[in-house]
């Protein structure tokens, strides 16, 4: 390729400039007003080698006929001056301002620098928006139809477009750097031009410029920028979460009880008070099945929680509770260490014991019933009925004192019923390696009852190995502290701790207690502020209640108490104690269960009469268990507590006092995976590096043209040489261009 072009070659350039003064016309336009294509057509018809408009030949611009004909013939492009004044003005500016002065590199790239800061601002905006909604509910913005994903996608689109625009300008400038080094094929110039306009063109330029680090980086950058939208969207991840909702019409509540009036659950029967029939049925039905009390709570969403509080001292200091309510509580203790047996049955008519009949018993008073309080008898013959369960209710449990904890004994001081169960069980039995269950009795060789003991070791009674067990349970009126939650439209309560009510020595046959903690009019009352001056306590009421260490008191002395003045809303009152004591005594006393082939029955004896008992439901696989008895007693206590809450009242006999909570709904929430935003952040940094690199590379060059095509269009213009972008724009402002199709 030649190093320079000749004058002859210049005559055949692709573009020629045609300076044409507009002919005088009655409808001439002003110099500053752009001329339309129709104006140029009328004023300067295209010249071809077939026909040349003579009006152009005689114009004042002194344009040569050959120039006009050659320009139109070779390219079909006709360029003319707008007016003499415009040309003169542009020339003055070119010579006086743009001719020999090197332009400031920052001023040349000012738009790209500004766009880079705008892109940084958009990325910061994305970060701020996502940070504001991280771990929050997915916003709906008043149902305007724009989601968080859509908003971020829009911002990311502008962000990516700005980065791509800067990269394309870098590629466009590299075109001038490329052809300034040496003569290049014109096709490569076209590739550069296409590369500065889109991704496909940039990829086509890759084989040409793969050895140029800056060009290669710009092309790869444009390709990578396509992932901005995907990466920003991937950072927004949703999950199901619970969100608090406000409902003034239907707040979340749970019903509690401060007191139960006698007329709500008792009725008069033969000059005495006893529980109403629904309470009697509840005491029995609780063992058979559990019952959901949907009326005890209000939660329209089906998911509600309740705030928790803690007391200032004692056991409750380390635990938190949602609510406190009047109720019935239970505790059970295993008496297997007191149980005697298996022993042979001693018959009065026989001189020797029946060695094939086993007896399990609990100790009683010496000389009374052979020193046995209660017993069960397992007969050898399956045709005879064996006594497999014996139940007794009594007030005094001192006989079992050595098997009970001090806390259990202190709770039983205030019991409404103490129920002892002696029955056949599989507690303590072991499953052998080969699968069968083995109930070992640890027989003593020299013991008179060793033969029956060994017999019981080998006996597979009722097709199930078994041994005796004993349990003592106490039920007492109490204040229950629970953690409550409503989930799936069902109430779930977990007992945290409970405190027995105390019989009031001064204020008549009443059982009372103090709820601590207790929330009254927004103030939390605990054992720490219960002794505040009376002036600070709303509706102060005095109560005799346990000391803080009541559970560890000695059972050999009377239980200590202290008189405390607290708000009336914090007092629990139970005035129906005696009616319940009588009912438990009648229901769970002198009850026996017999098992034979094929029958199984339980009866309760009272005043010489026997009635069918519901305690047969305690058996599973013809045996009872300590766990089963505990669950049954807890079920009775829970059922009666809920019955109290349904008919209970507040401190001032206001019906159905309630504890308020928080209502929740399942919503879509947002969590931000910040790692996905590393990609657009890195792209922003790379874009800045590209821009700085091209600015440093061209900092010493006199002119930078970037994506402008004017240097090509004006390459033969006498005043366009040595001009920068602004100078080129000024020269071009005095010229017009038109395609002149060839006429045949």
In this structure, are 146 and 228 located in the same domain? yes
Read out DSSP for 434-485? TS-EE------TTSTTHHHHHHHHH--GGGS--EEEEEEEEEEEEEEEEEEE
Do the domain assignments include residue 137? yes
Instruction: Give the Cα separation of 526 and 231 in Å (integer).
Output: 54
Do the domain assignments include residue 370? yes
- Residue from 18, 44, 87 nearest 734 by CA: 87
In this structure, are 80 and 185 located in the same domain? no
Instruction: Give the Cα separation of 390 and 421 in Å (integer).
Output: 6
Please check whether residue 378 is in contact with residue 593, taking contact to mean a CB–CB distance below 8 angstroms: no
- Position of tokens 């803690």? 310
Rg of the chain, C-alpha, whole Å: 51
pLDDT of residue 476: 95
In this structure, are 31 and 136 located in the same domain? no
Please check whether residue 303 is in contact with residue 665, taking contact to mean a CB–CB distance below 8 angstroms: yes
Sites in the chain below the pLDDT cut of 70 = 1-102, 248, 312-318, 345-356, 365-370, 380-384, 428, 430-465, 506-509, 531, 596-599, 606-610, 702-703, 712, 715-722, 724-725, 741-744
Please check whether residue 335 is in contact with residue 403, taking contact to mean a CB–CB distance below 8 angstroms: yes
∠ CA 242-243-244, nearest 5°, is 125
In this structure, are 96 and 117 located in the same domain? no
Do the domain assignments include residue 437? yes
Give the distance, in angstroms, between the CA of residue 642 and the centroid of all CA atoms in the same chain.
32
The token pair at 157 is 């689109």
In this structure, are 163 and 99 located in the same domain? no
Backbone angles phi, psi at 368, to 5 degrees: -110, 115
In this structure, are 72 and 188 located in the same domain? no
pTM for the full predicted model: 0.67
Do the domain assignments include residue 642? no
In this structure, are 72 and 177 located in the same domain? no
- Residue from 121, 171, 110, 160 nearest 690 by CA: 171
Handedness of CA 14, 19, 23, 27 (dihedral sign): positive
Q: Can you point out the beta strands (E) in 517-672?
A: 518-520, 523-525, 540-546, 561-567, 571-574, 591-595, 600-606, 609-612, 658-660, 662-672
Do the domain assignments include residue 666? no
In this structure, are 370 and 464 located in the same domain? yes
Do the domain assignments include residue 174? yes
Please check whether residue 467 is in contact with residue 425, taking contact to mean a CB–CB distance below 8 angstroms: yes
Q: 178 to each of 106, 426, 663, 710, how far by Cα in Å?
A: 21, 95, 69, 17
Please check whether residue 158 is in contact with residue 122, taking contact to mean a CB–CB distance below 8 angstroms: yes
In this structure, are 99 and 148 located in the same domain? no
Q: Which residues pair with 485 in a beta bridge?
A: 305, 492
pLDDT of residue 124: 96
- Position of tokens 């509580």? 329
Do the domain assignments include residue 404? yes
Instruction: Give the Cα separation of 55 and 45 in Å (integer).
Output: 9
Instruction: Give the Cα separation of 472 and 421 in Å (integer).
Output: 6
In this structure, are 92 and 135 located in the same domain? no
In this structure, are 114 and 95 located in the same domain? no
Q: Per residue in 720-729, is it b (16+ CB within 10 Å) or e — as a string? A: beebbbebbe
- How many domains in the chain? 3
Q: Can you point out the beta strands (E) in 379-456?
A: 386-394, 417-425, 430-431, 437-438
In this structure, are 378 and 461 located in the same domain? yes
- Position of tokens 């390219």? 75
Range(s) of the domain holding residue 187:
105-235+673-697
Do the domain assignments include residue 568? no
Q: How many CA atoms lie within 13 A of 431 on its CB side?
A: 2
pLDDT of residue 460: 47
């Amino acid at each position: 390729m030649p190093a320079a072009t000749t004058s002859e070659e210049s005559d055949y350039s692709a573009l020629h400039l045609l300076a044409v003064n507009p002919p005088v016309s009655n409808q001439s336009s002003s110099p500053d007003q752009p001329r339309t294509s129709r104006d140029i057509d009328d004023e300067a018809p295209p010249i071809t080698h077939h026909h040349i408009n003579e009006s152009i030949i005689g114009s004042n611009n002194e344009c040569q006929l050959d120039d006009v004909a050659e320009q139109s013939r070779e390219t079909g492009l006709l360029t003319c001056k707008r007016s003499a004044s415009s040309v003169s003005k542009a020339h003055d500016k070119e010579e006086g301002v743009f001719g020999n002065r090197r332009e400031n590199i920052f001023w040349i790239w000012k738009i790209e620098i500004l766009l880079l800061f705008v892109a940084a601002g958009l990325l910061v905006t994305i970060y701020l928006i996502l940070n504001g909604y991280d771990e929050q509910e997915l916003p709906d913005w008043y149902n305007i139809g724009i989601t968080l994903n859509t908003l971020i996608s829009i911002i990311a689109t502008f962000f990516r477009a700005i980065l791509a625009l800067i990269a394309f300008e870098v590629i466009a400038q590299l075109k001038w750097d490329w052809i300034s080094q040496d003569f290049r094929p014109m096709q490569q110039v076209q590739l550069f031009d296409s590369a500065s306009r889109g991704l496909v063109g940039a990829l086509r330029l890759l084989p040409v410029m793969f050895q140029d680090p800056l060009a290669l980086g710009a092309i790869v950058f444009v390709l990578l920028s396509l992932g901005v939208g995907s990466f920003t969207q991937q950072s927004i991840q949703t999950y199901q979460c619970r969100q608090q909702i406000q409902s003034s019409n239907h707040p979340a509540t749970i019903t509690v009880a401060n007191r139960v009036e006698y007329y709500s659950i008792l009725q008069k029967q033969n000059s005495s008070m006893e529980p109403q029939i629904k309470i009697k049925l509840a005491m029995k039905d609780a063992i058979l099945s559990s019952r959901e009390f949907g009326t005890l709570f209000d939660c329209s969403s089906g998911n509600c929680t309740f705030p928790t509080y803690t007391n200032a001292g004692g056991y409750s200091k380390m635990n938190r509770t949602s609510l406190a309510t009047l109720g019935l509580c239970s505790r059970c203790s295993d008496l297997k260490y007191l149980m005697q047996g298996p022993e042979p049955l001693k018959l009065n008519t026989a001189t020797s014991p029946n060695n094939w009949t086993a007896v399990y018993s609990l100790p009683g008073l010496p000389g009374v019933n052979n020193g046995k309080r209660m017993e069960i008898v397992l007969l050898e013959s399956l045709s005879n009925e064996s006594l497999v369960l014996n139940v007794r209710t009594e007030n005094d449990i001192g006989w079992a004192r050595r098997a009970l904890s001090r806390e259990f004994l202190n709770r039983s001081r205030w019991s409404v019923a103490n129920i002892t169960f002696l029955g056949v069980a599989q507690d303590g039995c072991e499953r052998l390696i080969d699968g069968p269950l083995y109930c070992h009795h640890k027989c003593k060789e020299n013991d008179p009852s060793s033969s029956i003991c060994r017999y019981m070791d080998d006996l597979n009674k009722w097709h199930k190995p078994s041994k005796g067990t004993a349990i003592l349970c106490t039920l007492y009126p109490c204040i229950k502290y629970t953690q409550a939650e409503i989930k799936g439209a069902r109430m779930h309560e977990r007992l945290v701790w409970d405190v027995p009510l105390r019989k009031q020595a001064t204020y008549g046959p009443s059982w009372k207690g103090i709820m601590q903690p207790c929330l009254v009019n927004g103030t939390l009352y605990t054992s720490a502020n219960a002794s505040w001056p009376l002036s600070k306590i709303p509706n102060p009421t005095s109560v005799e209640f346990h000391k803080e260490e009541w559970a560890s008191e000695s059972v050999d002395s009377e239980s200590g108490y202290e008189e405390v003045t607290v708000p009336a809303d914090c007092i629990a009152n139970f005035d129906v104690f005696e009616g319940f004591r009588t009912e438990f005594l009648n229901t769970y006393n002198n009850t026996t269960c017999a098992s034979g082939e094929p029958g199984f029955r339980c009866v309760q004896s009272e005043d010489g009469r026997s009635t069918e008992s519901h305690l047969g439901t305690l058996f599973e696989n013809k045996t009872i268990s300590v766990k089963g008895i505990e669950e049954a007693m807890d079920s009775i206590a829970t059922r009666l507590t809920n019955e109290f809450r349904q008919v209970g009242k507040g401190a001032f006999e206001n019906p159905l006092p309630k504890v308020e909570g928080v209502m929740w709904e399942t919503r879509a929430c947002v969590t931000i995976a910040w790692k996905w935003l590393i990609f657009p952040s890195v792209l922003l940094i790379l874009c800045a590096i590209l821009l700085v690199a091209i600015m440093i590379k061209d900092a010493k060059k006199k002119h930078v043209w970037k994506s402008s095509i004017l240097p090509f269009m004006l390459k033969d213009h006498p005043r366009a040489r040595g001009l920068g972008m602004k100078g080129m724009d000024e020269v071009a402002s005095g010229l017009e261009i038109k395609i002149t199709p060839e006429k045949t």
